[in-house]
Chain A
């Protein structure tokens, strides 16, 4: 949370300054005093990030959640879809530390495997829309004019649909909901935020001297975009992608909770809570719905903390 106080720009040396980071503010003077440390943009950002206690805590929590998901096959006491015919909705016990669900599957094992689903959806969907948004935003921002007008209106159109409603609409129309469908729909509809950011960055950077210099020395469009514009536009995109991952995980969980996302027997944190819509399950069997809810909360909270830390570290003047 601790934002470095804004200071007047100080002259810098080293790689960061040479690249012409006109947009970012300078690290507090402390970083300069301890002499031999790197003053590149990413080194400064890294140090700023590490001072953000919540962000570091988030990163650690995220590593734990990710580790549990990756090593699920080693950690899970049972298979995620293995049915124990003697145990339906059994409370926690020695063999089933978090009890069993309505079909007799081990809740702990499903919880670990579900992490793989949720994190995969979050990462893949965001990867898709970061690429889409970057291409669309770059086209609009670099060309300007009619291209910009058309793409900006398209962005407005997509942003006019409330997220969950348009996603439900699309998922229900494209046949049976499945993991792949959800990733595609989330990816296809999530790009406007990134598109706007990249467009704005391109518009701002386009007029700066180092870009004009690159052009004047004979740099082609492709070279200017790839070497000068994109690298400088990526910091806010990284922040947006981080918050976007948290949102994608929440959306997938909501869809799956409603029965319109990941379908059982494949476990997802969201669909593990579906049964709790029944008041009997809600009241009598908290082991069925509390653990997956907590896992979603931890994962999303951790990612949001990391995103907040990244935002403060990369560009304190940026607001999302």
Chain B
């Protein structure tokens, strides 16, 4: 087990390096010279050269990459073009709302998907199964922004049960106020994941129900409820729970749209702001932060899977 964990951790090192290299490569392909943005028109060509040299821009790309990597190792992600503030700070202040939103969505998608998938599997080929399947496909196929707009239209504008966006009411506040602002965006973000998870729970459950220990449990006279809860459910849900870590990319991608629609001040909204202001250092910081979150998610998924299922050995 320890050997597996060490090996699994070591594999992430080249991937992390690759992620930084690829981000750096893309950013260095940016049309336009970053020096142009810094100089004023009165500077002579020689002054521009000096400036380039001072910034290290006359060096080959791999030298610049290694230097930049060194800076990053010290927590320096560069400075925002638009505000001059450190990128690391801008991202950390936006990461918390995003984590709140994505984590709530993740929990919500499991709360919906597990019962739906189990019901679909145990009542296979009934209208419950078909209904769950249809809903799951709707969740996967509905564009996040369209679902978000429908949600705002129905629950905020028509029924007036929930606010249209933001995290708190002006002058209001309090826990319940926060929750009421979270419900709609979290539900919208959860939809796609819940759809995919329902399908997964269903097939995982069907697979376990077809196995011999389930037949044995039934044969020795256990009630169907006990068979389901003690024997089938536990085994079917193990792989499903470990899938949580693999939801990170989809959740972060969905957060960009959800945060934009619901004026949620997280990393997703920061992404759109950075794009509109052509603020490449911030954009690059977000891309890296997101990639690191994905890698951590994958790592968590693999590690938990090997912990809960001792049969797993990647050698």
Which A residues lie at the B interface, using CB under 8 A? Answer: 1-2, 54, 153-154, 156-166, 168-170, 172-175, 246, 250, 253-254, 257-258, 260, 270, 273, 276-277, 279, 282-283, 286, 289, 293, 296-297, 300-301, 304-305, 308, 319
Contacts and interface: CB of A to CB of B under 8 A. Distances in A.
Given A157-B22, A170-B26, A304-B137, A257 B256 contact: no
Nearest to B140: A304
Contacts of A169: 23, 26, 283-284, 287
Contacts of B31: 173-175
Contacts of B290: 161-162, 165
Contacts, number: 140
Q: Which of A157, A175, A250, A282 has the most B CB atoms < 10 Å from its CB?
A: A157
A2 to B, nearest CB: 7
Interface in B3-48: 11, 14-15, 18-19, 22-23, 26-27, 29-31
Contacts of A279: 152, 157, 164
Interface stretch (B60-68, B230-238, B270-278): B270-278
B280 A173 contact: yes
Contact of A172 (B129, B252, B257, B275): B275
B271 A168 contact: yes
A258 B257 contact: yes
Given A162-B294, A165-B286, A165-B290, 14 more contacts: A153-B14, A154-B18, A168-B271, A169-B283, A170-B26, A173-B30, A173-B280, A257-B145, A277-B260, A282-B149, A286-B153, A296-B146, A300-B141, A301-B141
A279 B142 CA distance: 20
A253 B143 contact: yes
Contact of B141 (A157, A260, A297): A297
17 contacts: A1-B133, A160-B291, A162-B249, A162-B253, A168-B271, A169-B284, A169-B287, A170-B26, A250-B143, A254-B143, A254-B144, A258-B257, A279-B164, A282-B153, A282-B157, A300-B142, A304-B137
A160 B294 contact: yes
